[in-house]
Amino acid sequence: MVAECAEAVAFLDRSPVFKGHVLVVPRRHVATLPELPAELLPGYFELVRRISDAMPSALDVHGTFVAINNVVSQSVPHLHTHVVPRRRKDGLRGFFWPRQRYDDDAEATRYASAIGGALAASGSPDVSHDT
């Protein structure tokens, strides 16, 4: 166990990317981030933030990589946030998948509009959708 709060627990990953790799897990069972109730977000992500903030001094690293998989590549069907210690030139290249480019600005705009439109249709408060 690394840390805990009312909403979550944090512990070392049993198969770390780098030593000190921590998983933050909500106490309430939810499979993915969209299922995490809004009232649990502040406490949950405050614990993620605190661990990310503590790692550089605790482990003598330069920063952290924070990631969540939702369904795809999610090895356990319970929400968990990875907080991975990082050092410059540690061998980890960007993200774990190849990058793609948009064909042009129009294609990028179509993707942004599709996502923004879905947010607006869901009634998400405080979301601006400009096309």
Q: What is the pLDDT of residue 76?
A: 87
pLDDT in tens, 33-54: 999 999 999 999 999 999 999 9
pLDDT in tens, 119-130: 788 776 555 545
Q: Strands, E, within the chain: which ranges?
A: 3-4, 8-12, 22-26, 63-67, 81-86
**CB-based burial, 38-48: b 16+ in 10 Å, e otherwise:** eebeeebbebb
pLDDT in tens, 75-94: 888 999 999 999 998 888 76
- Pairing outcome for strands 3-4 and 81-86: unpaired
**Can you list the domains of the chain with their CATH numbers?**
3-98 (3.30.428.10), 100-131 (no CATH)
pLDDT in tens, 93-110: 766 666 678 899 999 888
Q: What is the pLDDT of residue 50?
A: 95
